[in-house]
Amino acid sequence: MDKNPTHPRWRLRAALACAAAALAACASRGGPPAARMPSIPTAGQVDLARFMGDWYVIAHVPTWPERAAFNAVETYALREDGRIATRFRYRHGGFDAPVSTMHPVGTVRPGTGNAVWDMQFLWPFQAEYVIAELSPDGQRTLIARSDRDYAWLMARTPQIAPQDHEQAMARLQALGYDLKKVRRVPQRWPESGPDAAPQPPAHEAPAREPAR
């Protein structure tokens, strides 16, 4: 495990710890809860097995660790216990930067048609993850959150048609997001260098992973 305090994974853990402390502080004050925005509508029933595999991050409202991500790819694999093993692979700051990874685990919320997950980066904290849009051909998806703080436009290919990007941005805005916060994620494949990865196969779901 990388114990460098500047490593993105450690920054994320620190942010989560701070968030937990803030929540505890708010709870101790009592008082009325803050008004929440409406929940994000989902894409409807999601074929979970078909959704597994590699997704290129085309654009996002980024979390702190991924604010300068290049060649970001999210990969899902269904575990034997029904949870979702996730690997987020990216390079921070440039195409030649070292590879960084995060490995959260997703849990589908019952009764949501597989469209709402709880992502766990650090026990016991979980983050809402809503599949808000999924193209009929399964090639593009839009992930959003009820807090309108983060979002991800992902595709099975590193690039998408301009009209598809515009449509996704219009949908994101309709959901209540500020498009000024959206960042395009640079994608250049195949990679080069000692830790290069070949271009991931298009929408091929990996084998089922054993539960851990």
pLDDT of 193-208, one tens digit each?
A: 678 887 665 544 444 5
Question: Domains plus CATH for the chain?
Answer: 34-184 (2.40.128.20)
Q: What share of the chain is helix, strand, coil (3-state, %, to 5)?
A: 20, 30, 50
What is the pTM assigned to this prediction?
A: 0.81
Q: What is the pLDDT of residue 211?
A: 56
The model's pLDDT over 64-103, given as tens digits with 9 standing for 90+, comes to 999 999 999 999 999 999 999 999 999 999 999 999 999 9
Please say whether the beta carbons of 122 and 106 come within 8 A: no
In angstroms, rounded to a whole number, what is the distance separating the alpha carbons of residues 84 and 86? Answer: 6
